[in-house]
Amino acid sequence: MLTALGCALLAAGAVALGTGLADQDQDPAPPGIAAHPSPGSPSPGTPSATPSPGTAATAPPPVLPAARPTRLTIPSLKVSTSLERLRLDEHKALTPPRDPDEAGWYAQGAAPGARGPAVIAGHVTWNGAKAVFFDLARLRPGARVEVRRSDGTTAVFRVTRLTQYAKDRFPSLEVYGNTPGAELRLITCGGEYSGSAHHYSDNVVVYAKLLDDADAT
């Protein structure tokens, strides 16, 4: 189970997953967000497979066959980036994207569009300049996120929420726990930058859900 992803690694649990973004410079400062989750936010409950008496059965959430993602597009932020394949290193930390202008997909997790929470991470700044996810904290619920896939299809997601977590209160199960449908997590750094520690204090996490064909058009 993945337990953390951030600018500096969190070692709680069996596997510490980090984007390795500790070398980012402070300037320019990334945009902040208004909502900060309370510590210990509960993980979403597992939905019942059997509807309660007197309620109508709901359709299962949409999922697609697994396929490798090749490009991420966020129209409202004017972001369009190819995707590196990110893996854990020998220290169980996620290797960061080599190019600060390119995001990366955690290839040992869910593929975008397939069942589960797919993870895409990117730098917010690099050597004092804006990086690919500099404006990620500006996303709002309802925003569209598109992931082009190797089978020629495009998985279209809608942002449901955006939260900022202090790294020492990162809710691993909420971010990385199993989901009944296809979901997406976009993750970068946020909060205050420590020049002595060379990392940001927080993580910005965007949650999104796959749209069905009718809603995606």
Q: Is residue 112 part of a domain?
A: yes
> What is d(CA 106, CA 17) in angstroms, rounded to the nearest whole number?
10
Q: Is residue 47 part of a domain?
A: no
Bond prior to 28 in cis (omega within 30° of 0) = yes
Q: Is residue 52 part of a domain?
A: no
Q: Is residue 63 part of a domain?
A: no
Q: Is residue 151 part of a domain?
A: yes
Domain with 78, as residue range(s), is 69-216
Read off the amino acid at residue 8.
Answer: A
Q: Is residue 26 part of a domain?
A: no
Q: Is residue 13 part of a domain?
A: no
Please give the full DSSP string across 59-91, using - where no structure is assigned: PPPP------EEEEEEGGGTEEEEEEEE-B-TT
Q: Is residue 3 part of a domain?
A: no
pLDDT in tens, the chain (217 residues): 444 444 533 322 223 343 333 334 444 545 543 333 333 334 444 344 455 555 566 788 899 999 999 999 999 999 999 999 998 888 777 778 999 999 999 999 999 999 999 999 999 999 889 999 999 999 999 999 999 999 999 999 999 999 999 988 989 899 989 999 999 999 999 998 887 777 889 999 999 999 997 577 6
| The total number of structural domains that make up the chain | 1
Classify residue 196 as exposed, middle or buried by CB count within 10 Å of its CB (0-12, 13-18, 19+).
exposed
Bond prior to 31 in cis (omega within 30° of 0) = no
Read off the amino acid at residue 149.
Answer: R
CATH number at residue 114: 2.40.260.10
pTM for the structure as a whole = 0.77
